[in-house]
Homo-oligomer: A and B are copies of this chain.
Amino acid sequence: MAPAYKVSYFNITALGEPIRFLFSYGGIEFEDIRIEKEQWPQHKSKMPFGQMPVLEYNGKVAHQSLAICRYLAKQVKLVGKDDWEDLEIDAAVDTVNDLRQKLGGYHYEADEKIKKARGEILFKETLPYYIEKLNAQAEKNGGHLACNRLTWADIFLAGLLQYMNFMAQKDITENAPALKKVYEQVCELPNIKKWLQNRPKTEI
């Protein structure tokens, strides 16, 4: 039988990978549809708001990667034990996502002069600021981003890290041991480890 869930995304990690991590963590089978860049124009108009990742389930279609992750986190029980814990998890996820967007604003800038100016601010101010704060948060939470235990905020960070490092052209956790621990602990989870060994090899 075909898996009940289908995920469509580009053949890269990036925004698709936290979703794939969550499926893998929960041992939930999913169809891992990867659309090559050259095929994208013929798919774009069929996607809600012309974007991926997209989740299909039971004939229904949903987009927005964070929303999809939150839905899956509920299925695999990586959410908070009360509303305030969920708020702390959501805030951590949104903060990691803010950092991802800031890295993207630098990496994808086509104008070299603007890119250089953005890089100045990013690498001297923004990135160190975020990393220091996130590292302190991970220290306070015993190697996790929230709630002193594994939640989907950790999975989200770990799934996105390769992409964020690619955009920064360095390991952004290099001077942030507690944050690095968040990542390493996720990668050591048996189901994630298996996914990392077996997933398609891609450049990003």
Interface residues of A (CB under 8 A from B): 48-50, 55, 57, 60, 62-64, 66-68, 70-71, 74-75, 83-84, 86-88, 90-91, 93-95, 101, 114, 129-130, 133
Contacts and interface: CB of A to CB of B under 8 A. Distances in A.
B87 A70 contact: yes
Contacts of A93: 67
A62 B91 contact: yes
Contact of A71 (B67, B71, B83): B83
Given A66-B90, A71-B84, 7 more contacts: A62-B88, A64-B94, A66-B94, A70-B86, A71-B83, A71-B87, A71-B90
B84 A75 contact: no
A133 B62 contact: no
Contact of A68 (B67, B87, B101, B130): B87
A150 to B, nearest CB: 19
Given A130-B49, A133-B49, A83 B91 contact: no
Nearest to A75: B83
A59 to B, nearest CB: 11
